[in-house]
């Protein structure tokens, strides 16, 4: 595919955590001049009228679909219907309208949550259909998985260039630190820093700490998605991750060390661990479009912690 610099590019969810970094990358590293954002409140992508309005006004050559309703285990458990419907309806309508408008390409993000609960580690793309996702986030994972099915079906029947990168959990400066919807890293950072600020001596963590997760720094994620937009044009999903796993217990200990929290960790084992292990095989992304994560995990955590400390005193919560 030719350079993105002269393309008209719409980024759904472009005001969000990942979207902000991706738009910045397009502007500063790819020299893109015609970047458009489709996000709330101007565009509610659950509404087909707003999707049509977006295509009419922005006239994109390429759509990068980042908009999603996401959260940690608690948010998924509390909102399974919303997480399924909102994510499915946004993507289904967007892909169909993009096809009808004959745009050049749509990039629709998938998720590691779509993989079966007991997928062998590291997760390979061919394992995606070998079982049911982990129950606490299955509605979200399956909604995103249906967009892969749609993308492949539209490519097969209509020759439409739709691709689906699969992402792990992201983290970094500007993450969502709202405790009702945040993922594990911002939630842990907030717990530790807030406890230090309030002179509290204990923090509670859900689960046993035995589960493992993989985390990708947000700048690396933005680069991986853009490389896929530039160079990847195949029907198969492709993993974008850091290619390592860490147990939640080790993650907690690392964040405790980096934040300086000296108190006691209380493990609430009545709460679920979620999927037992998560780690992607990222060899396809490196082979197909040269992506490899660059940020070391500890350095990424330090940057994220410093960002939160800076914004804590402004009573800033990104939600």
Question: pLDDT of 57-87, one tens digit each?
Answer: 999 999 999 999 988 778 888 999 999 999 9
Distance CA 29, CA 278 (A): 31
| Architecture of the CATH domain 184-211+246-276+305-312 | Alpha-Beta Complex (3.90)
How do the domains of the chain map onto residue ranges? 8-171+214-244+277-295, 184-211+246-276+305-312
Topology given in CATH for the domain delimited by 8-171+214-244+277-295: Rossmann fold (3.40.50)
Q: Is 202 helix (H, G, I), strand (E, B) or coil?
A: strand
Instruction: Tell me which residues are annotated as active site.
Output: 140
Above 70 in pLDDT, residue 313?
Answer: no
**212 touches 248 (CB < 8 A):** yes
Q: Is 198 helix (H, G, I), strand (E, B) or coil?
A: coil
> What is the per-residue pLDDT for 319?
41
> How do residues 170-182 score in pLDDT, each as one tens digit?
999 999 998 888 8
Helices (H) and strands (E) in the chain, counts: 10, 14
Model-level pTM?
A: 0.93
Beta-bridge partners for 169: 215
Alpha helices, DSSP H only, in the chain? 17-28, 48-58, 73-78, 80-100, 138-158, 184-197, 218-231, 248-259, 283-289, 297-312
Domains 8-171+214-244+277-295 and 184-211+246-276+305-312 share a fold: no
**301 touches 185 (CB < 8 A):** yes
**228 touches 289 (CB < 8 A):** yes
Q: Is 290 helix (H, G, I), strand (E, B) or coil?
A: coil
**308 touches 254 (CB < 8 A):** no
What mean pLDDT, rounded, does the chain reach?
A: 94
Residue 317: which residues within 8 A CB-CB, separation 6 or more?
177, 178
> How do residues 203-256 score in pLDDT, each as one tens digit?
999 999 999 999 999 999 999 999 999 999 999 999 999 999 999 999 999 999
Q: Which of 21, 20, 12 is nearest to 109 (CA)?
A: 12
Tell how strand 34-38 and strand 8-12 pair up.
Answer: parallel
């Amino acid at each position: 595919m030719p350079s993105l610099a002269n393309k008209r590019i719409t980024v759904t969810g472009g005001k969000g955590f990942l979207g902000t970094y991706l738009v910045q990358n397009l502007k500063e590293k790819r020299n893109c001049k015609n970047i458009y954002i489709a996000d709330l409140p101007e565009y509610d992508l659950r509404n087909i009228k707003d999707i049509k309005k977006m295509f009419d006004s922005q006239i994109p050559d390429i759509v990068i679909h980042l908009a999603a309703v996401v959260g940690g285990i608690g948010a998924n458990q509390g909102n399974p219907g919303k997480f399924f419907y909102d994510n499915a309806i946004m993507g289904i309508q967007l892909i169909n309208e993009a096809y009808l408008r004959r745009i050049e390409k749509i990039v629709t993000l998938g998720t590691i949550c779509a993989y079966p609960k007991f997928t062998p580690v590291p997760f390979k793309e061919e394992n995606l259909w070998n079982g049911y996702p982990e129950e606490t986030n299955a509605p979200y994972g399956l909604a995103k998985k249906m967009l892969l099915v749609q993308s492949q079906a539209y490519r097969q029947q209509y020759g439409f260039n739709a691709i689906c990168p699969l992402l792990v959990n992201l983290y970094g400066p500007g993450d969502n630190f709202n405790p009702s919807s945040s993922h594990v890293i911002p939630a842990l950072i907030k717990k530790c820093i807030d406890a230090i600020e309030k002179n509290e001596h204990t923090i509670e963590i859900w689960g046993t700490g035995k589960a493992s997760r993989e985390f990708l720094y947000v700048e690396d994620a933005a680069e991986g998605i853009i490389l896929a937009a530039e160079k990847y044009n195949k029907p198969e999903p492709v993993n974008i991750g850091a290619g390592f796993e860490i147990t939640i217990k080790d993650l907690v200990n690392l964040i405790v060390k980096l934040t300086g929290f000296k108190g006691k960790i209380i493990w609430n084992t009545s709460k679920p661990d979620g999927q037992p292990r998560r780690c992607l095989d990222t060899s396809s992304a490196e082979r197909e479009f040269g992506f490899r994560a660059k940020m070391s995990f500890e350095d990424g955590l330090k940057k994220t912690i410093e960002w939160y400390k800076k914004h804590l005193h402004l009573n800033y919560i990104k939600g």
